[in-house]
Amino acid sequence: MNAKRIDKIATGVLYGVAALVVIILVALLGFILIEGVPQISWHFLTSPALAFEAGGGIGIQLFNSFYLLFLALLISLPISLGAGIYLNEYAPQNTVTGLIRTTIEILSSLPSVVVGLFGYLFFVVQFKLGFSIISGAFALTVFNLPILTRSIEEALANISDNQREAGYALGLSRWETVTKIVVPAALPSIITGVVLSAGRIFGEAAALIYTAGQSAPALNFSDWNPFDISSPLSPMRPAETLAVHIWKINSEGIMPDAKDVSAGASAVLIIAVLLFNFLARWLGKRLYKHLTAE
Amino acid sequence: MDKIRESLLKKSIASKIERRGKIISLICLALIVGVVFLIFYFVASRGLATFFQNHVNLWQFLSGTQWNPGTTGTNGQPAVGALPMIVGSFLITILSALIATPFAIGTAVFMTEISPRRGAKILRPVTELLVGIPSVVYGFIGLQVVVPFVRHTFGGSGYGILSGTFVLFVMILPTVTSMSADALNAVPRYYREASLALGATRWQTIYKVVLRAAIPGMLTAIVFGMARAFGEALAVQMVIGNATLLPQNLVSPASTLTSILTMGIGNTVMGSLQNNALWSLAMILLLMSLVFNLAIRYIGRKGKLSNER
């Protein structure tokens, strides 16, 4: 067989492999959307779940997911911003910094179930926070910190040194240069990183099973006092999220329409992740245009 | 002291702000590092209790095949043999990586070498999107599609290593593909040009030049996929059957470290042997993720050296 024929055969095989992978991936997305989208209705998105009968919704779980996402970002964003700034602007290039980077990398590669177990041991048991939104938010923070720190550090590293030198030339201190010039210039990519990590948090379940709990008590949506236990804003109530809900109803199997509910909930999750992706790109571009007047 | 002298000797407001900012950002960084050490300390302190407080033999823990903490096994020792879970975890990780690797590399080669335009337009966005799909969704699809398929084709209940492997294969495929594509893209253009100028066909160039130059990057991609597969909990737990038995074949119910952990940790009392044994499983998980991390670093350093030479 000559080289040309082998080349043709190999090209054909590669076409076949790529086509197969595309078919698998498209079938995956198609399956969720075709099975799930018909389940989605206003009633499904707003009514509470029913344990033993068909026709329940995902209202509380959906709210819990967004609330947990909001709290987790609220805690993790300032910390990772500070850590990212230190790593990129202050840290000297030496062994200690290298070790710190390694530690953060290790944290980002830990299985999420281990993060969840640590959250259970530390926040739920040690600090006696119980299965609550706040424990869940802390666990998600641990899960999110390394990724967000890394993306913020990269965003800051991409800002050219001219900007910093301009700041120093004007007599600004290093900190003022960072907060007034470098961070605003890096804002579009920081926002993109935050929204992308939001998509990851939104679908996370393993870290939440033993921290935010697996139950979704009824909420009183007319009571917005965060100190009442039945208020939607209360940080001390147990809160099952959408992803945990899908896992729970599938592994327990007492809900008669578990398949329909989880298909609908999966579709909602996927659509949310899709939206986060588009939002990240759109917002990043939009902000960049706005800030640079291009 | 006159005013000018005083203002020169005192710290300026700017330098105070500078100091404060530096300290605040350092505290943030220290917090993250502290969390990592806390995780290791807490998991290790619980996980080691099995061996130091309950006096379980480490070798028996790793090689025993009976898992029923709380009862004593046939040898009069507590029945905490973790071998079924360890075997399950490794089997499922290696099998899914073995299946995913050719598909991922084939697709990555297609994306970068054969049809870059279609790759950039269709394949890349789709794979990057799929990286972000939550694992419970993969588990749900596994339950609805893979388990019935395995049951009809291979018999048995459908729950087992094979179903878990299929689910993980689809799950790590996008990750490994997009990382391999990055590795291939990083191969300098002049490597290809030199090979083509020597009269090599496209396939010869790909196989003899591009793939070899990208080996470290692709290995990293595969190890990364394996680490993800090893640590995946819920998607696997939903389809593997969760029987703590040594897997007899690929379609008999089995279990992994993560699946037993997610099932058990809520049903045991803190500080009991049942609970400690579960934390020992978590410790194995933690150590393995360290091993994967080290492997990735080692490959990265090797790759750099061989490229520089």
Q: Domain map of chain B by residue range? A: 80-308
Are the Cβ atoms of A112 and B46 closer than 8 angstroms? no
Kindly write down the DSSP assignment for every residue of A38-102, as one continuous string. Answer: GG--HHHHHSPP-SSSS----HHHHHHHHHHHHHHHHHHHHHHHHHHHIIIII--SSHHHHHHHH
Q: Give the minimum alpha-carbon distance from A217 to chain B in angstroms, rounded to a whole number.
A: 19
What is B80-308's CATH number, 3.10.100.10, 1.10.1740.10, 3.90.550.10, 1.10.3720.10?
A: 1.10.3720.10
Global pTM exceeds 0.80? yes
Residue B305, pLDDT score: 62
Are the Cβ atoms of B18 and A173 closer than 8 angstroms? yes
The pLDDT tens digits of the residues spanning B67-96 come to: 877 676 666 667 778 888 899 999 999 999
Residue A84 domain flag: yes
Residue window 130-189, chain B: list those with CB within 8 Å of chain A.
130, 132-137, 139-141, 143-145, 170, 173-174, 177
Enumerate the residues of chain A whose CB falls inside 8 A of the CB of residue B294.
none
Are the Cβ atoms of B39 and A107 closer than 8 angstroms? yes
Percent of chain B with pLDDT over 90: 35
Are the Cβ atoms of B17 and A263 closer than 8 angstroms? no
Enumerate the residues of chain B whose CB falls inside 8 A of the CB of residue A117.
43, 261, 265, 279, 282
Enumerate the residues of chain A whose CB falls inside 8 A of the CB of residue B206.
10
- Alpha carbons A269 and A272: distance in angstroms, whole number: 5
Residue B176, pLDDT score: 93
Which residue among A15, A179, A266 sits closest to B140, beta carbon to beta carbon? A266
Q: How many domains does chain A have?
A: 1
Predicted-complex ipTM score: 0.88
Residue A30 domain flag: no
The pLDDT tens digits of the residues spanning B43-66 come to: 998 888 888 887 888 888 888 788
On the CB side of B309, CA atoms within 13 Å amount to 7
A194 touches B at CB < 8 Å: no
CA distance to A65, A181, B32, per residue, from B29 (Å)? 27, 21, 5
A58 touches B at CB < 8 Å: no
CATH number at residue A121: 1.10.3720.10
A204 touches B at CB < 8 Å: yes
Residue from A5, A21, A211, A278 whose CB has the most chain B CBs within 10 Å, to mutate? A21
Its domain, for residue A197, covers 40-292
User: Which of A6-10, B136-140, B250-254 is predicted least confidently?
Assistant: B250-254
Residue B69, pLDDT score: 74
Taking chain A (294 residues) in runs of 10, the rounded mean pLDDT of each run is: 86 90 87 88 81 76 91 94 93 90 90 90 87 92 93 92 91 89 90 88 89 81 75 83 88 77 89 86 82 67
Burial of B130 (0-12, 13-18, 19+ CB in 10 A): buried
More confident residue, A122 or B1: A122
Residue B309, pLDDT score: 46
* Mean pLDDT on B36-47: 91
Residue A77 domain flag: yes
Q: Give the minimum alpha-carbon distance from A222 to chain B in angstroms, rounded to a whole number.
A: 32
- Alpha carbons A232 and A246: distance in angstroms, whole number: 21
